[in-house]
Structures are given as C-alpha cells and as structure tokens.
Amino acid sequence: MSNFVNKKVLQLHDECINTGNEPSETLKLRMPGGNVLINTKDTLGRIKEELDIQTDVELAEAMEVGIRRIHNWKQRNTIPTEAIVAICGSEGLDLEYILTGNKSHAGRFQSEENRPPLAVEQQQPVCEQPRVSPPDKRFVRYDSRGNVICSFESAQIVDVLSPGVSWLVHALGVQPEDLLLMKVLGDSMYPWAQDGDLVFVDTSCKNTINGGVLALRYADGTMSIRRIFRSHDGTLLAKCDAVGSEPEVLDISNEDIYPLVVGRVVRRLVR
C-alpha cells in the first residue's frame, strides 16, 4: 500500500458534510484551499473506471461488500470512507482522484521499488495540521491530577481515523481527550446505522436530547448505540430503531447499573 493511503486518516480531508444549499445528490468536501463538491455515484464510477469494470456487481466484488451496500451508498449519498481507503490501498488507486476527480497522479500508483524519485524541488516539507489519535481497544479517562477515573476495553474501540484537531473541536465540539471512535455491531439501529459503520462519541457528555443517540456499554463488554427517549414519568428509555424491539430503562446517574453510558454520538460514518 502506498504511503498516500497507508495512513489511518484521509490526510487530504477534514470533513464531509451535507449542505443545504447544494443539490441533494452532492456533498461538500472540505479540503485545504477550499471546498469541493462530490457525488457518491461519481466517486464509485471513478473506481469502476480505474479498475476497468462495468457493473455494480463487479464493483461490489472488488470492494468485498454486498451489492446492497453499493445501492445504499448511492441512494443515501454517503461516502464509504473506510471501504474507499481500503480499495485504493489494495489496488494502488489515487485516493484524491477517486474522491474529487482531481487527478494529481497519473493512473494507479506504482510500487515503491519502481516509482521514480521525486525531483529535488518537489521534496518540500508538508505542514499538516495537528490530528487526534483516538484510543485503540482501550479507553481511559483521567482527572486533572492524572488519576484514572474510568477505564474499559472493547474490540469496538478503533483508531482507523485521525481527525483534525480544529475540525473536531470547532465542528463537533469535542475535545481530543474525550474522543472515542466506535465500530457498530449488528443492524439494531438500521437504517440509521448498520453493521460496520463508525460513530464519533463524545465521552464527556452523558446525556442527549429526546431522540438523540448515546453509546452504551454492557456488563459483557459489548457496546451498542441506542436512541434515547424520556417517558411521561421521567424515566429514560434506550430503544433500537429496529421494529419490534423492547426499550431498556436507563439510569444515567447510577454507574453500578448496566448499561452504562459511554457518551453521546456526535457523528456517524457510513460504511
């Protein structure tokens, strides 16, 4: 995998956001130097073009996902960040071109051994903005004196993305030390979130608005996301979006009763 894509973050991009002023089939990608409008169908189309394939079925096989995923991405106009980074790395595709159509490199990347050296004038140091490295497999919270006040482990805690500090703080309102990146398991929150999706969790915030989503931790170590509602008597209920599921009673103030609140979900990334 080339150095360009063999990183835990899309170094070129700070944020991919829906915009109210653009057509619904476009997203605005915030990049150094300005914003670029992108379209999921166009992005997937460039992958097909580079791999010389014609159908969505072939594309699904190349990306190692089901054809339903391809259709969902197009219909919801979501950028499957993790899957695109993976196929760009495995096939040597130019990630910037795939996402934006800006072909800064000619075709696929060459192998490191065969790639010609950069000219001296091109080897300029790149000044990148500070980025956050989320915890991996284990989350620890400290007090102001450095004492551990909370610690737990889960395979769902991942570090596959490293968001920019400025974007994290100003766009999401999350401090770097409070960030947790969680991988969703199962389809209990379908269609809002599906198995394999990623969510940004603000661990400093243990509550949310009515209908908001919290990340919860259970006694067996598993983590889930649930939509929160308040009943008429004030009881908090944690519900799945799946039809027919029974709500769970949630006591945010009691840290001895499971499920425990990990934090508030502030952003999701669709696979």
Give the pLDDT confidence of 211-236 residue by residue, as tens digits. 899 999 988 889 999 999 988 888 88
**Co-location of 19 and 75 in the same domain:** yes
Indicate whether 218 belongs to any domain: yes
Helix 56-63, helix 81-91: angle, nearest 10 = 80
Burial class (CB in 10 A: 0-12, 13-18, 19+), 171: middle
User: SS3 for 3?
Assistant: coil
Q: Give, as one character, the DSSP assignment of residue 94.
A: -
Instruction: Let me know whether 102 and 171 are in one domain.
Output: no
**What pLDDT, on the 0 to 100 scale, is given for residue 111?**
46
Backbone angles phi, psi at 26, to 5 degrees: -120, 155
Dist CA 89 CA 20 (whole Å): 32
> Do 142 and 253 fall into the same domain?
yes
pTM for this model (two decimals): 0.54
Average pLDDT over the chain reads 77
C-beta separation of 71 from 55 below 8 A: no
Low-confidence ranges of the chain (pLDDT < 70): 1-38, 103-129, 271
Cα gap 238→127, rounded to integer Å: 44
Burial of 168 (0-12, 13-18, 19+ CB in 10 A): buried
Are 158 and 256 found together in one domain? yes
> Does 164 lie in the same domain as 224?
yes
Residues 147 and 54 in one domain: no
| The predicted structure's pLDDT at residue 141 | 86
Partners of 229 in the beta sheet?
A: 237
- Number of domains comprising the chain: 2
The predicted structure's pLDDT at residue 75: 85
> Is the domain of 160 the same as that of 97?
no
Residue 148's DSSP bridge partners are: 142
* 59 and 146 housed in the same domain: no
Structural domain of residue 152, as residue ranges?
A: 138-269
What span, in angstroms and rounded, lies between the C-alpha atoms of 249 and 183? 23
CA 87 and chain centroid, separation: 16
Instruction: Flag whether 26 is in a domain.
Output: yes
Q: What is the pLDDT of residue 5?
A: 38
What is the pLDDT, as a whole number, of residue 11? 41
d(CA 70, CA 80): 9
Q: Are residues 100 and 145 in the same domain?
A: no
Position 201 in a domain: yes
Predicted pLDDT at 255: 72
- Is there a single domain that holds both residue 156 and residue 89? no
Which CATH number fits the domain that encloses residue 191? 2.10.109.10
The answer to whether residue 83 is domain-embedded is yes
Q: What is the pLDDT of residues 98-136, one digit of tens each?
A: 887 776 544 454 444 445 554 444 444 555 568 888 999
Q: Are residues 60 and 101 in the same domain?
A: yes
Q: 67: domain CATH number?
A: 1.10.260.40
